[in-house]
Structure 1
């Protein structure tokens, strides 16, 4: 979620161009804005940066002077504050924190509205911004501000389309907001995006599996039986090793038990589900064979060598 350099550049762009010369109060606020940016970028102290932004915003709220320069510095503090909240994993409180500074949704600057839409989209909560962005876009005075088109695009692509709100998306594109925000080509491209999303919702899944739950249950049952069979085979195998290789009666019991188990379960060697059973059985039989007859084979080989 790190985009500190972008936030720093945006924050400074709001507070750097101020003519005529700043008053002493605004100079102090501008210096505090630089301090917050340094705390975030250089020291990575996001809590300190957030605290500095809060103090700066509180001081601005108490200032009697109210002009465009105050608004620029205020927006700079908010941009850094949003970034600090995101870095502190307190993104869920970003919109309410911004509204504390601007009181009304339609008064939020376009740049900050864009940041909020992107933030909540990135964390998978686009619905949080739906009401605020709708109110902001339908405010007549906002249609003349720089960044209005970008807010409309982000609202469409990162809020309405992901949420599947087709009717509202179409109204946004062809309605009054779309007339102010989009050119004819952009409106057509936006309509294509909405229709494509709608088609994706209506298309059935590529690999439907209506019996997936039954299949999973069957696989789980087969797995349990395989584990029991393996445990039984290993039990007889250990008995053979402990009793000795000459115990033919125990070997007969072992063979009979395996055959009965296969008959009762009606194990079909040609069925794919049987491959694992047969593989485990074959492995254990090979181990048993080696344990019983390897000593005799080695002794016989040794005597022939002599």
Structure 2
């Protein structure tokens, strides 16, 4: 059922069918032995696919409530799903929706020991508290108990600098367009490229962290599923309308081709030579 839902999402792009498949899959998981370690893996997998499908259907406003239906309380939501929810609501400009849920999750003592706790704290800080200009809560998060579990000393210092810089920007008066030395130059000319670069960096960082998490587990289905989902996010969710997207993807494909040739070209050459003989 998980494979079928992933195929409907990535190949057929039948998003309503994905949501239905995830609902049925979650019902099946609810009937499994909850002590089985695979139960949590399947449940998280269906939720990840369901979140993506709901976002594609522009039904992002019901994502958090849908997730809470599966886990009942905020503290039990897996770190990976909490990260996805923070990024989703941040992307649509509704960071405040995740503020209470992320705060409760981060202050749950048992969550401080799970893999991905630091990433949730980082995303909550950068994508919720900083954009909402909640500087006092941001400082408390960094220097308090949550920051002690989530960040190293250098990371805490860097995070404080980010918060202070954002606070200075908020205190500065807005620029006066009438005093612009280059009024003919539109202010938004560099924004598309900057947006794509930011998205690519976020995707690559998410790719690295997710692969690191999956490599530590013993459940191969999770690794295969996660790899397929990340490839889909990386290639199919990039905005093709932006010229900078083509340049970035072209360079990435060249790098992948070089890696492929370096790893497999000697084998193919040896095989071709043996056939020739």
TM-score bracket for the superposition, by shorter chain length: 0.5 to 0.7
In 2: Cα distance, 1:91 partner to 1:43 partner: 20
Deviation of 1:64 after TM superposition, in Å, equals 3.9
Which one of 104, 124, 129 corresponds to residue 155 of structure 1? Answer: 124
Deviation of 1:65 after TM superposition, in Å, equals 4.5
Q: Which residue of 1 aligns with 2:160?
A: 191
Q: Which residue of 2 aligns with 1:58?
A: 27
Q: Which residue of 2 aligns with 1:33?
A: 2
Q: Which residue of 2 aligns with 1:206?
A: 175
In 2: Cα distance, 1:194 partner to 1:65 partner: 42
Task: Work out whether 1:49 is the aligned partner of 2:18.
Answer: yes
TM-score (norm: length of structure 1): 0.57
Task: Work out whether 1:98 is the aligned partner of 2:70.
Answer: no
Q: Gaps (5+ residues) in structure 2?
A: 179-277
* Residues 1-306 of structure 1 mapped to structure 2, 5 A cutoff: 32-207=1-176
CA offsets per residue over residues 29-67 of structure 1, 9 Å max, x none? xxx000000111111101101100000101111234432
CA offsets per residue over residues 246-281 of structure 1, 9 Å max, x none? xxxxxxxxxxxxxxxxxxxxxxxxxxxxxxxxxxxx
RMSD of equivalent CA atoms: 1.1
In 2: Cα distance, 1:38 partner to 1:84 partner: 12
CA offsets per residue over residues 216-245 of structure 1, 9 Å max, x none? xxxxxxxxxxxxxxxxxxxxxxxxxxxxxx
After TM superposition, which residue ranges in structure 1, 4 or more long, deviate above 2 angstroms?
62-67
SS in 1 for 2:174: coil
Which structure's relative contact order is higher, taking Cα pairs within 8 Å and 6+ residues apart? Answer: 2
In 1: Cα distance, 2:36 partner to 2:140 partner: 36
**Residue 142 of structure 2 contacts residue 159 of structure 2 at CA under 8 Å; is this kept in 1?**
yes
CA offsets per residue over residues 168-206 of structure 1, 9 Å max, x none? 000000000000010111001000010011111111122
SS in 1 for 2:12: coil
In 2: Cα distance, 1:65 partner to 1:107 partner: 14
- The change in CA–CA distance for 1:65 and 1:177 in structure 2 (over 3 A counts) is closer
Q: Gaps (5+ residues) in structure 1?
A: 1-31, 210-306
Q: Which residue of 1 aligns with 2:181?
A: none
Question: How many residues matched?
Answer: 178
CA offsets per residue over residues 121-167 of structure 1, 9 Å max, x none? 00000000000000000001101100000000000000000001011
In 2: Cα distance, 1:147 partner to 1:107 partner: 13
- The change in CA–CA distance for 1:52 and 1:165 in structure 2 (over 3 A counts) is same
Q: Which residue of 2 aligns with 1:233?
A: none
